[in-house]
Structure 1
């Protein structure tokens, strides 16, 4: 089918190969995952904006991660659910919608990692410069940091997709469960050297900045905790930093697996499953990990539920 098309405006998504007897259990699993991601992330976001005590830089910056998870789930999972119940020949998508989906998936992949950098910076200021925290981490600074995360991602992803859409296409099958940049430029019979170089450079720079920033800030935090004899400071650092590091490890681990599998064609089916888990696992765990460890969130929830229990009397 691929060899008879040239710049086709209709593409076919290969999807996730699966035996017929596994289709409905998989559909239920992905549906429940989608509902859980949206419920948890929207719920925690609502808690932050409803409770004035949570209007702190730490929680406001964390909301960027929640928004990224909501974006990733909404872009990927509804389409995946529909395609699971369709035969391969009906998994069609317009080229323009495919490019749009690839843009938002790349945006999600970038922001879900760079948000961790500004969250680490917030913890660095709070623990290493506590007396200056309120003057540095103002509402204006929170807005600037958030804008930097989303603005830089939009610019770099726009360049990434611009290099792809300039190519002529001689194939029409997206060999993935959704449209992404790599799958799009693989449709081309033109040279994709520039795409590979820019994509690899962007990935290396992104990973270097994220991992380097996390290592630097947490090294500084560790030094402060080792020098400080204040048990309350060390306990606070341990609580907030541990959850942040857990989220970081989950994102980096799943991301690295996806990059490795992308270079090994014979493991393409495993890569498809991994990219789905890249959206599902962090999307489900981020609000739980961060919400459960937050004393302020637990206190607010207990007050809400306690008020509901005593309201009838």
Structure 2
């Protein structure tokens, strides 16, 4: 009964339960993954920011995706690396709430940003003559502001509803903090939280995904109706890139939700699926866009070749 009514500010996480032989490989994997995410996303951000030719609506919206990926991965990896190194499974409640908040900001933000990108491609391909008139700098800034504002309002309300409830447990049955795991610490009626959580899922899945699927359906129809093969090929390539990122996020998110509901699933598999949403999209998104988007690929190659030649002049050996 003592643990049931524990209101300590220190929480205990279930953790990964690593053996002594697994600590070093797990530390190397987590550190390398975080370094790759930081490097790839920062390269994408700097490429867009430093090249004026990329200051176009599509790339200005795209710029928010690596920023969002860095928020999600930074919310997870430092805590995971610290846990692996120190073998401690405790965390301050305030730090746990902060981690959960930013992880949810990342998840919802990814859907909103991909929706905004789908809207931009819809205007560009289906209404090309009106594109410059519609997608002005002011309109782009309005879209980006609304993406982050809606994200912060929806998640702010989610955590306001959470923090108003009394907490009487201290065990987080997950490898990191999120809203469902924090709700398990509450000893009160969580009906309002559950309803609002379902409402948030409905907004992201029905509205966001519905808009994405509708816009890309219209884009595909417009592409197949186009008589210019080069325009059609470029449009399809751009859409394929966006859809790859979208499907990657959705599949991992869906697997994560399902893993929470399946009691018979292996705990290790559940933990892996839980962290995969915060590992694979942030790692693959900048690589996918860097490889598939010609303008970005050319600028990245030019940047690194320039740096390579510069270093050779200084150190010619």
Superposition TM-score tier, normalisation by shorter sequence: over 0.9
Task: Confirm whether residue 45 of structure 1 aligns to residue 56 of structure 2.
Answer: no
1:31 is matched with which residue?
31
1:270 is matched with which residue?
269
Distance 1:302 1:270, change over 3 A: closer
2:71 is matched with which residue?
71
Post-superposition offset of 1:307: 4.0
- Residue by residue, what CA displacement relative to the aligned partner does 1:198-248 show, whole Å, maximum 9, x if unpaired? 212211221112220111001111111121111121011111000000000
2:55 is matched with which residue?
55
- Residue by residue, what CA displacement relative to the aligned partner does 1:269-297 show, whole Å, maximum 9, x if unpaired? 43321121101100111001011112212
- Residue by residue, what CA displacement relative to the aligned partner does 1:74-132 show, whole Å, maximum 9, x if unpaired? 11011001112333xx3222212211111111111100111100000011011111111
Alignment of 1:1-313 (within 5 A): 3=3, 5-87=5-87, 90-267=88-265, 268-308=267-307, 312=313
Post-superposition offset of 1:152: 0.5
TM-score, structure 2 normalization: 0.93
Report which stretch shifted further, 195-204 or 300-309: 300-309
Distance 1:248 1:40 in 2: 18
Post-superposition offset of 1:252: 0.2
* Contact 2:7/2:167 (8 A) holds in 1: yes
RMSD across aligned C-alpha pairs, in angstroms? 1.8
For structure 1, the 5+ residue unaligned runs are none
TM-score, structure 1 normalization: 0.94
Post-superposition offset of 1:257: 0.7
Distance 1:282 1:36 in 2: 12
Distance 1:91 1:305, change over 3 A: closer
Distance 1:28 1:110 in 2: 29
For structure 2, the 5+ residue unaligned runs are none
* Contact 1:2/1:171 (8 A) holds in 2: no
User: After the TM superposition, which segments of 4 or more aligned residues of structure 1 sit over 6 Å from their partners?
Assistant: none
Post-superposition offset of 1:181: 0.8
SS in 2 for 1:93: strand
Distance 2:160 2:9 in 1: 17
- May I ask how many residue pairs the two structures share in their alignment? 311
